[in-house]
Amino acid sequence: MSLNLTQPGAETAQHDASAARAAVLSLRGIGTVLVVAAVTFWLAYDNGTFTVPSRSAAGIVVWWAIVVGLATRMLPRSRPTRIAWVVFGALCAYTAVATASIAWGAAPEHAFDELNRLALYGGVFAFVVLAAVPKDIGRWCDGIALGLSAVAALALSSRLLPQVVRAAGYQNLALIPLGARRLSYPVGYWNGLGVLIALSVPLLLRAAVSHPSHVARALAAFPFPILSAAMYLTSSRTAAVVTAVAVILFVVLHPRRSATLAVLAAVAPGSVAAVKLLTSHPVLVDGPFGSASAVHAGRLAAAIIVVLCLGTASIVLVGSILAARLRVDRRVERLLLVPIAAAVVAGLVAVHPVSRLHAFTKPPATFASSNYVQTHLLSANGNGRWQLWQTAADEWLTRPLLGRGLGTYQAWQTQHGRLGVFVHDAHSLYLQTLAELGLVGLAAIVIAFGGGVVAAVRAVATRRDEDASAVALTAAWVAYVLAVGMDWMWQLPVVSIVGLAVLALLVALGGSRSPQPEFGASARVGAGARRLTLGLAVVLAVLLAWSQLSETGSVRALAASQAAAGADDLATAARKAHDAATLEPWAASPYLQLALVDEQRRRLATAGGWIQLALRRDPLNWQLWAVSSRIAYESGRIADARRALVRAHQLNPAVGSLGR
């Protein structure tokens, strides 16, 4: 005989408390998804956060968010793992080598710009490591996927519904012939947009295959026709390659391969039909985009693609409900690796990899203007990447250990490049790092990225079957690592922000084999250690805010000076250029602007002094030597003008065509 001492209504109260707690946790989870999605979308929408003011604002916000989080004890939410410290240390080491390279490099202005970019990336990695806990990582994945899906939808709408989504001016960002036909809005670069879409694919597959809610699985499948249509319009071969790699990795690593293949089979028809729809309306692919026929075709295509999305979601919903009643033997799941491997091998053989590699190494080709997007997408030509990579290797061989200094690739390519074009980047993070920072800089990047690989292996090996976050993040991380090796994705902030956020989530999942305690009662952190961490964060945030604001202020002052000079307000132009020089005295651009303004005012002696100050700060810039030659010629110093022109020709052989 036992006595029930529970007071009347106590069980009901406990049940109500549990329900309330579950509701709060659910709302917090939805809030996490929406906040991450909104931030991801905004970073892409703001021209990929590429401009200096946008990038600087993001850097300041992320570092002060860390400071506020540490001060209020909202951060860290869990103790950073050992691998997180290794990766962050490697990123700091890379930044330190880059900073030191200013001493032996010849482009401090470019180096300072890169350091501010690195500060943003390091802050993003640190913030995500401090803010994410393993139990919430699935929500972070959903938020990133939702944000990137919204970006793809906006991009596609700008082509199909230009009267609704006005992307005026984005086509002017195209710097190569016919490039304006490739979809780039809102990121500003077609390959950047394509890679962002590629990174969303494994994250969406995670939800479509493994989410506990059937409706959520259907919603995750909904965007796939939009993604495929937008990626096709970018004509990005980089995106196509990394998407294929990410999907294959996801299928191979996911323990429920039959369910994964079923979802892929469900989303494939709608995705293929969306691309087929675009190819049947060439005016939507190759233009003219503003014509009446393009507007009519765009409205029709938009409606059909929405129907395809609804159909795809419906198929996945029904399939998910039916699949809940099925259980596939683990041996069958493992056996599915055989046809997958066979399909991959057959695909590689079908594309003739040797001949495609040979075609890739050839100089840039001229593509047909009538069907440019499809012709370019199916071509194996590397558009000069092979030559740019060879030039980076040539530069590295001159100083193998430490490189020639951050920001020097542009000048080296202009002077010694195997491709006679003006480019800023080597289109490969690894080769450009090797050229500019040598083996030491490359080692720092390899350690940082290698930490992600180690974390991915641990996370995939230790997570339970129902948790596909580790698999999705691994696929997305490998896709990012490949993308930065094939294009200038490192210099496009939104892509690398997403990539480093994925890296941070991975190290949070797989950084340690034992669960990491959340800070609070279960985490013993001394007050002294906390104060020291907060103090260091404050110092870093202040220094980086000064750095970011200095560059932003200088860029804006220069823009104002150029606008004033164009309006013939030379007094204002000179004053604004002086402001830029005050904010960034190590930069050459303000002194170049001062020289141009005084040249316009016919103060040639003063202009000559300014251009010499610019040359001291960037002696390998052929444009500065060309301006110096012109000012000397206008001043009657013919011998000086000839010497400066000779030097400009040495730095850029094309200058010889300008005259003697």
Q: What are the tokens at 14?
A: 């406990």
* 61 residue type, one letter: V
Per-residue model confidence as pLDDT tens digits over 164-213:
887 754 444 444 556 778 999 999 999 999 999 999 999 999 999 988 89
- Residue pair 114/543 in contact by the 8 Å Cβ criterion: no
Peptide bond preceding 590 in cis form (omega within 30 of 0): no
Mean pLDDT of the region 626-650: 94
The tokens 């493994």 sit on which residue?
A: 210
Calculate mean pLDDT across residues 548-558: 92
For 3, counting Cβ atoms within 10 Å of its Cβ (0-12 exposed, 13-18 middle, 19+ buried), the class is: exposed
pLDDT of residue 378: 75
Q: Rounded to whole angstroms, how far apart are CA atoms 654 and 250?
A: 48
> Residue 629 contacts by C-beta under 8 Å, 6 or more apart in sequence?
640, 641, 642, 644, 645, 648
pLDDT surpassing 90 at residue 604: yes
What span, in angstroms and rounded, lies between the C-alpha atoms of 359 and 381?
5
Q: In the predicted model, is pLDDT for residue 331 greater than 70?
A: no
SS3 content of the chain, % helix, strand, coil (to 5): 75, 0, 25
**Residue 417 is encoded by which pair of tokens?**
């490049």
CB 621 within 8 A of CB 588: yes
Average pLDDT over residues 566-578: 95
Question: Average pLDDT, stretch 23-39?
Answer: 81
- Give the closest residue to 446 by CA, choosing from 475, 484, 413: 484
HSE on the CB side for 646, CA within 13 Å?
A: 6
Task: Using pLDDT thresholds of 50, 70 and 90, give the confidence band for residue 7.
Answer: low
pLDDT digits (tens, 9 = 90+) for 242-300: 999 999 999 989 888 888 989 999 999 999 999 999 999 999 998 788 788 999 999 99
CA-nearest of 387, 379, 383 to 431 is 387
Q: How far apart are CA 340 and CA 621, in angstroms?
A: 52
Helix (H) or strand (E) holding 488: none
Q: How many helices (H) and strands (E) does the chain have?
A: 27, 0
Kindly report which listed range (124-133, 341-350, 438-447, 495-504) carries the lowest average pLDDT score: 341-350
The pLDDT value given to residue 171? 44
Would you say residue 341 has pLDDT above 90? no
Q: How far apart are CA 105 and CA 436, in angstroms?
A: 9
| Range with the largest mean pLDDT of 90-99, 143-152, 281-290 | 143-152
Confidence band, pLDDT 50/70/90 cuts, at residue 516: very low
- What are all long-range contacts of 184-187, with beta carbons under 8 Å and residues at least 24 apart? 184/155, 184/234, 185/154, 185/155, 185/158, 186/44, 186/45, 186/46, 186/47, 186/48, 186/151, 186/154, 186/155, 186/158, 187/44, 187/47, 187/48, 187/151, 187/155, 187/492, 187/494
Average predicted confidence (pLDDT) for the chain: 86
Identify the three-state secondary structure at position 520.
strand
Answer yes or no: are the C-beta atoms of 578 and 601 closer than 8 Å.
no
Instruction: Quote the CA–CA distance of 458 and 402 in Å, as a whole number.
Output: 33
Q: Using 50, 70 and 90 to split pLDDT, how confident is the model at 433?
A: very high
pTM score, two decimals? 0.90
